[in-house]
Amino acid sequence: MKRKGFRSLALTACITAIAPFAWGCGSSSDGKIEVEIVQYKPEAANYFKTVEDAFNASHDDIHLTISSPNDAMAILKTRFIREDYPDIIGIGGDINYSYFVDAGILADISGYEGMQNVNEGYLEIAEALELVPTDGTYILPYAANAAGILYNRQMFEEHGWQIPETWDEMLALCDQISAEGILPFYFGFKDTWTCLAPWNAMAVELAPADTTKQVNKGQTTFTKEYGELAEKYMALLPYGPDDPFAYNYNDACTAFARGESAMYPIGSYAAPQILSVNPDLKMDSFVMPASDEKEGRTLNSGIDLGFCVTADCKNKEAAYEVLNFLYADDTLQKYIDAQTSVPCKKGNFTLPVILDGMTEFIASGNMTDYQDHYYPSEMSVDALLQTFLIEKNKDAFLKNFDTSWQRYNRDIIRMVQEYEAAHGSAQ
Amino acid sequence: MSKHENERKRTFLLITIPILALFICFNTIPLIRGAMYSFTNSRGFGSHDWVGLRNYIDLFSDARVGKSYLFTIKLAIVTTVVVNVISLILALGLNSKIKAKGFFRGAYFLPNILGALVVGYIFNYFFTYIVPALADMTGLQGLSSSILSSPNKAWIGVMIVCAWQAIAMNTIIYISGLQTVPEDVYEAGGLDGATGWKQFKHLTFPLIIPFFSINMVLCVKNFLMVFDQIIALTKGGPAQSTESISYLIYNNGMSGGQFGFQSANAVVFFIVIVVISVAQMKFSSSKEEQL
Amino acid sequence: MKHTSSVGKSNKTVLVLLILGLSTIIFPLYMTVVIAFKQPSEMTNSISGILSLPKVWSLQNFREAMEVTDFWNSLKNSLVISGLTVGISILIHSLMGYTLGRNKSSKFYNFVYLFIVSGMFVPFAILMMPLAKQTAEMGLANWFGVILLYVVFYMPMNIMLYSGYLTNIPLALEEAARVDGASTWLTYWKIIFPIMKPMHATVAVITALAVWNDVMTPLIIMAGSSENTLPLAQLNFQSQFGTNYNLAFASYLLSLIPILVFYLICQKQILNGVVNGAVK
């Protein structure tokens, strides 16, 4: 009797050992080349499903699979650990991209012909994201978003308010709006990442685009470069709700959609959430004015989605064929429409209505990347900013920024300085 | 008899070995492999360098990590007390002869099943809009702004939500503990005139001490490792006042590029919790023996 | 008699207190239900707005939520994973809990007990990457691997629960069977295992709930496969820049039902424990 029990235990052990083989993944090979894309924007899953279907319907030799998983970054990192690389990954132009380039995970696609059609502004942004300069290009910028100020157009028209072009004009406008009993801005600072939106939008005018790189090279400090920015940010606070740290992004979107404020300093990406609450809202955007000069203004815009081919990809030709399909004008236009974003490709695209106020900058390629695309996420600059806005101690904030930066970027700084020593800082 | 003893010993050993092997394979080995990363500057992927004890040295001079320990320990202690008091009372209530027992038991279980997104949304709403409005109506100055927006008070919000969710589980454990208290104990106690608090203190509680200690250990562990509620409620804010240790480890190590450093944090944290919990278990098992 | 009368009186107090306490649960639940039926355009930041009833009671949100999450398929995966985990856990963990609980005087078993229980305190984040790699190497990057990991993850807590429960079960019961010549193994399955029924139910509830709501393990282990569990599929409702709370709430309400039913069934088992009768 006893033995019977142990037999069942042994059986369990056997099942444990054998099962993996039974459930092992089967690969179907019907002679087609398999191309797999993992892209990180789950909100665009429907769009990519239609792209996948259209591609497979028109290609006999290549079979495309696009997955749009949730928390794709965790999934990608996990798969990299397992050395199980998709052929193409769709990611944003931020610090993760910089890390992936640095880790040698991505292939140089400068030879891909579609690169010719990329809006130069975004190519420069992509190049700048590399931790140390390389010869190659590793991302095909697809779509961008832009940050500035979203405003309630109906409200502006009714009151005859003008779009400000300088910092002083903006403060004057805020005073005027307040005087008429309306709240100028809404903030959702409970979600720390939203603290970065006005910061980035003002930084493009007030701090050098390559501030972080200069700091890494030891040429400047944040205390020097971010002083004015921090002061001006504080000056915006009185024009927002009483306790901005009580409201999260969702609250702020809802409040703005319901007309509780005239403006909302956030990116174009917020439009779908705002419109879901109030589909009839007439909303437009303008570039955040941060300095007193009308010359030299630039739009805060960065790569929201770009495609990278992995170094491990077996068939680059097939991958390029997929990129061609994705980058075709009408495919891209559909993405722009579905996601209210900005195309990174040159050509005549119909931009979303809410970007009307920014079109001029986009068309002329006058744009500067988000400062936060260079910040390592573990440093939590968003949380530092929130702390600063609560405590309003500029000097402590900047000092902390500098010391934290050195701490969190130690290895990168060493790498940059080694590179500088080897290549010289000559042009 | 000794033959029997041998049989018993052999059986126990044959049970232990495969299960222990399974445990080592999927817990101990990955833990050791993970701990290896704590000596590197790994970002979690790509190549990495060995950096010796640098991460550990950094750890002890990192103000942010220190702050997260203070917050987490404060939260764990207060929440453990609150949860155990309430769930013990609740368990006694739900175990007594009342009407609609099944309904109450079901209802009190609900907080545990609601997903983090729902809990986060509702309590955010509650603290941001409802509590201040109630405070305005009743003239309570201290609550007229959201407690989640105050670096000094936000932890109370986290505590309330943690307790709200955890009470159900602890209550279940207490209820199942109460089932092991034989009916005749009460009957005998009743004859001696032991009712209410006296009955609980002298008759019921001593018998459910094993469950009390299990609940204490589970509570301390769960709240020291608090993560979901932080994500749902505050994401570490305001002003980094509610960053729990697990939040830092996940957010900076997994999502961020500090994998090596946070592995070191995880190793130290693991040791801290083990020490606390083993001490707790030793303490309560010595109490059990006394009784 | 005196005993029962005093109980009768305090029961009313207990009932009143329980009803009062219930408000802390009814209110959030009410909000969840109301939001699950509303449209995004009905969402406001005012209290009257959030507490108001939806304009139309339509099941549209639920239908849509089921479509987005591929409900039946995800439900099936979640049920399979939770069910198997609970089943295996009850068998293996109770056995181990028994072994360790009955050998508290042995140094070796005491060490094993502490060794396994301390596994409970390992921060999951440190295990994630090594486990992702290890399961892939072993060909376990699938739902079977997920179940196996769950069985290991919840082993410490369950063993603690089982061996704690055993302290109140007298050794005499086993000794009686032993005198009749039954082996330890058989005694366990014939006598101890059934007697621990309330604890099985408790373990089942706790384990099932933890598995049911877990996102991280399937996300990391099954990364890249197209199979979703319910919580994984529910991530669909949130992205950084927008969350559809109405659909999400509808979906969470749906996924709440199976686990609630399971709990109610187990609850009966916890209370119908045989200990009281057997110990006499």
Nearest to C188 by CA among B13, A13, A2: A2
Nearest to A362 by CA among A370, A351, A372: A351
Residue-wise pLDDT tens digits, C227-252: 888 888 888 887 767 788 899 999 99
- Say which amino acid occupies C43: M
pLDDT for A68 equals 86
**B36: pLDDT confidence band, cut at 50, 70 and 90?**
very high
C53 CA to centre of own chain: 32
Number of C-alpha atoms within 13 angstroms, CB side, residue A279? 5
Tokens of C233: 């599929």
Q: Chain B, 134-163: which have a CB under 8 Å from a chain C CB?
A: none
Mutate to test the interface with B, among A82, A193, A248 (most CBs of B within 10 A): A248
Per the CB < 8 A criterion, the answer to whether B253 and A376 are in contact is no
Q: Which of A178-182, A199-203, B111-115, C194-198 has the lowest mean pLDDT?
A: B111-115
Where are the extended beta strands (E) located within A40-116? 62-67, 88-91
Say whether A276 and C44 touch across the interface (CB within 8 A). Answer: no
Q: Specify whether the backbone of C181 is left (phi greater than 0), alpha (psi in -120 to 50) or beta.
A: left
Residue-wise pLDDT tens digits, A226-259: 999 999 999 999 999 999 999 999 999 999 999 9
Residue C124 has pLDDT above 90, yes or no: no
Say whether A247 and B128 touch across the interface (CB within 8 A). Answer: yes
Mean pLDDT value of segment B158-173: 91
Distance CA A251, CA A257 (A): 10
Burial of C13 (0-12, 13-18, 19+ CB in 10 A): exposed
Of B114, B267, B270, nearest to C32 by CB-CB distance is: B114
Question: What kind and span of H or E run contains A215?
Answer: helix A211-216
Nearest chain C CA: its distance from B152 CA (Å): 24
Per the CB < 8 A criterion, the answer to whether A105 and A97 are in contact is no
* Residue B20 to residues A352, C135, C144, Cα–Cα distance (Å): 60, 18, 19
Per the CB < 8 A criterion, the answer to whether A81 and C129 are in contact is yes
Residue-wise pLDDT tens digits, A281-297: 999 999 999 999 888 89
Please identify which residue in the block is written with the tokens 């004890």: B53
Say whether C185 and A2 touch across the interface (CB within 8 A). Answer: yes
Residue C95 has pLDDT above 90, yes or no: yes
**A425: pLDDT confidence band, cut at 50, 70 and 90?**
low
Distance CA B272, CA B84 (A): 22
Of A13, A192, A390, nearest to B235 by CB-CB distance is: A192
Which subunits count as partners of chain A given 3+ CB pairs below 8 Å? B, C
pTM for the model? 0.88
Full DSSP string of chain B: -HHHHHHHHHHHHHHHHHHHHHHIIIIIHHHHHHHHHTTB---SSS---B-TTHHHHHHHH-HHHHHHHHHHHHHHHHHHHHHHHHHHHHHHHHHSS-TTHHHHHHHHHHHHHS-HHHHHHHHHHIIIIIHHHHHHHHT-GGGSS-GGG-TTTHHHHHHHHHHHHHHHHHHHHHHHHHTTS-HHHHHHHHHTT--HHHHIIIIIHHHTHHHHHHHHHHHHHHHHT--HHHHHHTTT-STTTT--HHHHIIIIIIISS-HHHHHHHHHHHHHHHHHHHHHHHHHHHHHHHH-
Average pLDDT along chain C? 86
Size of interface A-C (CB pairs under 8 A): 98
pLDDT for A325 equals 95
Which subunits count as partners of chain C given 3+ CB pairs below 8 Å? A, B
Q: Chain C, 137-196: which have a CB under 8 Å from a chain A CB?
A: 138-145, 148, 183, 185-186, 189
Strand A261-264 relative to strand A140-147, pairing: unpaired
pLDDT for A71 equals 80
Average pLDDT along chain B? 87
Residues of A in contact with B60 (CB under 8 A): none
Nearest to C219 by CA among A25, A79, A195: A79
Q: Which of A12-26, B217-231, C105-119, C178-192 has the lowest mean pLDDT?
A: A12-26
Where are the extended beta strands (E) located within C192-250? 238-239, 242-243
- Looking at chain C, how many residues does it have? 280
Residues of B in contact with A390 (CB under 8 A): 151, 238-239
C127 interfacial to chain A (CB closer than 8 Å): no
Tokens of C10: 């305090």
